[in-house]
C-alpha cells in the first residue's frame, strides 16, 4: 500500500507493507537465548508487570519467528519453560497460514523490538496477548483477512515507534486499543474496509508522526479519539464514504503537514478544529465534491507550501483568507501556493494576500507563475 503525499511537483510515496523476508529465517533454524530469573526484567521492573503467585520471568534475547500453529503452541516449552512472564528482546513475527490461536503466547508482557502480525488468514482475534503492555519499537498488524477484533491488546499503553493497522478487511473496530495513550511515530489505519469509525482509541493523547486515515471504504465518521490533541502530521486520503471530518478532536498542535485528498464524497472540512494557528504545509487535493474550506479559517501561518488542486466543486477559497504569504519577522515570502484546476471558483477572495504580493500585472497571464506561486486552469483566478 502506497500513501501518496501531495506537496511539491513530485509525489512522495511511503510504504508500510512489511516483507517477511526482512527476517533471514527458517522454521528449523530459529534460535534464541533464554534467561530465567525471579527478579526484574532487563528493561522493566517486576512492579510494572502483572503479578501471579510464584511466577518466574524469562528474557528471550533474539528475534522470534512463528510461522505455524505448531510453532505458536511450542513457544512456552521451547523458549520459556516454567515462566509466567516473558520479555522478548528482539522482534516477534507471527505469520502463518494455519495460525488461529495465540493462547500459548499469553505470558508475553514486553517486546523490546517490533511486533509483526502479518498474513494470518485464520486469525480472528488477539485475545491471548492480553498481558502485552509495551512495545519499544513498532507494531504492524497487516494482511489478516479474518481478523475481526484487536481485543487482547487492551494492556498496551504506549508504542515507541509506529503503529500500522493495514489491510484487515474484516476488522470491525479498534476497541482492543482502549488502553493506548501514546504512539511515538506514525499511526496509520489503512485499507481496513469494515471500519465505520475510529472507536476504541478513546485514551489516545499523542501521535509523534503521521496520523494517517487512508482508503477505509466503510468509514463514515472520524470519531473515536476525543483526547488526541497533539500529532505531527494529519493525512486523510481516499476514504470514499466520508462527507466531512466530523468526529476529529480539537488539535492543540500539528507540527507538520495537513493533507486531505482523494476523498470522493467529501463535501466540507467541517470537523477539522485547530487551537494552533500554524502548520507546516497544507494540501487539499482531488476531493471532487468539496464545496468549501471554511474550516481552515483559523489558520494564519503555513510555513512552507499550500496546494489546492483538483477539487472540482470548490466555488470559494474563503477559509484561506487569514493566511499571510509573508514571514512576519522579515516581510519576505516564505511559502509557495499552488492553485490548479479549480474550475468552479467564482472568486479569489481567499488568496487576496497572495495575489496582492505577486502584483496585478501578472494576473493576465495564463499560467501565473512566480518564485513562489503557480496558478493555472481556474475560472476565477486565471
CA–CA separation, 46 and 55 (whole Å): 10
β-strand partners of 376: 340
CA–CA separation, 165 and 144 (whole Å): 10
Q: What is the DSSP letter of 54?
A: T
The terminus-to-terminus CA distance of the chain in angstroms comes to 36
Handedness of CA 22, 25, 30, 33 (dihedral sign): negative
> For position 327, what pLDDT does the model report?
66
Neighbours of 5 (CB within 10 A): 21
The model's pLDDT over 226-258, given as tens digits with 9 standing for 90+, comes to 999 999 999 999 999 999 999 999 999 898 999
> For position 337, what pLDDT does the model report?
82
Of 273, 211, 269, nearest in space to 242 by CA: 269
Residue 20 CB contacts under 8 Å (≥ 6 apart), including other chains? 93, 95, 116, 118, 119
For residue 335, pLDDT over 60 is answered with yes
Q: What is the pTM of this model?
A: 0.83
User: Where are the chain's structural domains?
Assistant: 2-16+162-376
Residue 96 · residue 74 · CB < 8 Å: no
Q: Residue 103 — pLDDT band, cuts 50, 70, 90?
A: very high
Per the structure block, which three cell numbers stand in for 251?
Answer: 488539535
Lowest mean pLDDT across 5-9, 38-42, 161-165: 5-9
DSSP string, 238-303: --TT-SS-TT--EESEE-SEEEEE--TT----TT-EES-SEESEEEEE--TT----GGGTT--EES
Q: Residue 121 — pLDDT band, cuts 50, 70, 90?
A: very high
The model's pLDDT over 20-58, given as tens digits with 9 standing for 90+, comes to 333 333 333 333 444 444 444 455 444 444 443 345 788
Q: Which residue has the higher pLDDT, 107 or 341?
A: 107
Residue 112 · residue 132 · CB < 8 Å: no
| Residue given cell 502584483 in the structure block | 359
The model's pLDDT over 347-382, given as tens digits with 9 standing for 90+, comes to 777 777 766 655 443 332 233 334 445 665 666 665
Amino acid at each position: 500500500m502506497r500513501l501518496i503525499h501531495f506537496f511539491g511537483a513530485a509525489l512522495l510515496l511511503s510504504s508500510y507493507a512489511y516483507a517477511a523476508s526482512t527476517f533471514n529465517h527458517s522454521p528449523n533454524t530459529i534460535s534464541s537465548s533464554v534467561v530465567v530469573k525471579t527478579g526484574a526484567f532487563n528493561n522493566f521492573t517486576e512492579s510494572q508487570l502483572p503479578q501471579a503467585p510464584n511466577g518466574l520471568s524469562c528474557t528471550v534475547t533474539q528475534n522470534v519467528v512463528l510461522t505455524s500453529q505448531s510453532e505458536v503452541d511450542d513457544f512456552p516449552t521451547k523458549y520459556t519453560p516454567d515462566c509466567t512472564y516473558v520479555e522478548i528482546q528482539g522482534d516477534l513475527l507471527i505469520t502463518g497460514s494455519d495460525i488461529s490461536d495465540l493462547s500459548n503466547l499469553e505470558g508475553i508482557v514486553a517486546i523490546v523490538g517490533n511486533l509483526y502480525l502479518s498474513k494470518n488468514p485464520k486469525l480472528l482475534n488477539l485475545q491471548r496477548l492480553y498481558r502485552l503492555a509495551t512495545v519499544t519499537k513498532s507494531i504492524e498488524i497487516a494482511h489478516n483477512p479474518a481478523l475481526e477484533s484487536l481485543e487482547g491488546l487492551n494492556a498496551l499503553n504506549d508504542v515507541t515507534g509506529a503503529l500500522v493497522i493495514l489491510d484487515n478487511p474484516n476488522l470491525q473496530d479498534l476497541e482492543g486499543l482502549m488502553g493506548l495513550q501514546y504512539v511515538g511515530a506514525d499511526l496509520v489505519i489503512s485499507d481496513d474496509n469494515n471500519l465505520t469509525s475510529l472507536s476504541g482509541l478513546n485514551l489516545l493523547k499523542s501521535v509523534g508522526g503521521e496520523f494517517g486515515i487512508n482508503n477505509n471504504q466503510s468509514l463514515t465518521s472520524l470519531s473515536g479519539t476525543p483526547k488526541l490533541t497533539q500529532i505531527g502530521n494529519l493525512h486523510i486520503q481516499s476514504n470514499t464514504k466520508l462527507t466531512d471530518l466530523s468526529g476529529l478532536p480539537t488539535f492543540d498542535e500539528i507540527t507538520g503537514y495537513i493533507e486531505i485528498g482523494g476523498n470522493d464524497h467529501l463535501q466540507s472540512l467541517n470537523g477539522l478544529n485547530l487551537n494552533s494557528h500554524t502548520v507546516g504545509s497544507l494540501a487539499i487535493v482531488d476531493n471532487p465534491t468539496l464545496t468549501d474550506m471554511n474550516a481552515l479559517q483559523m489558520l494564519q501561518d503555513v510555513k512552507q507550501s499550500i496546494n489546492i488542486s483538483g477539487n472540482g466543486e470548490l466555488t470559494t477559497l474563503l477559509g484561506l483568507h487569514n493566511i499571510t504569504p509573508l514571514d512576519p519577522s522579515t516581510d519576505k515570502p516564505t511559502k509557495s501556493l499552488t492553485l490548479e484546476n479549480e474550475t468552479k471558483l467564482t472568486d479569489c477572495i481567499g488568496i487576496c494576500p497572495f495575489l496582492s504580493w505577486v502584483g496585478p500585472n501578472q494576473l493576465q497571464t495564463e499560467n501565473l507563475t512566480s518564485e513562489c506561486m503557480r496558478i493555472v486552469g481556474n475560472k476565477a483566478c486565471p
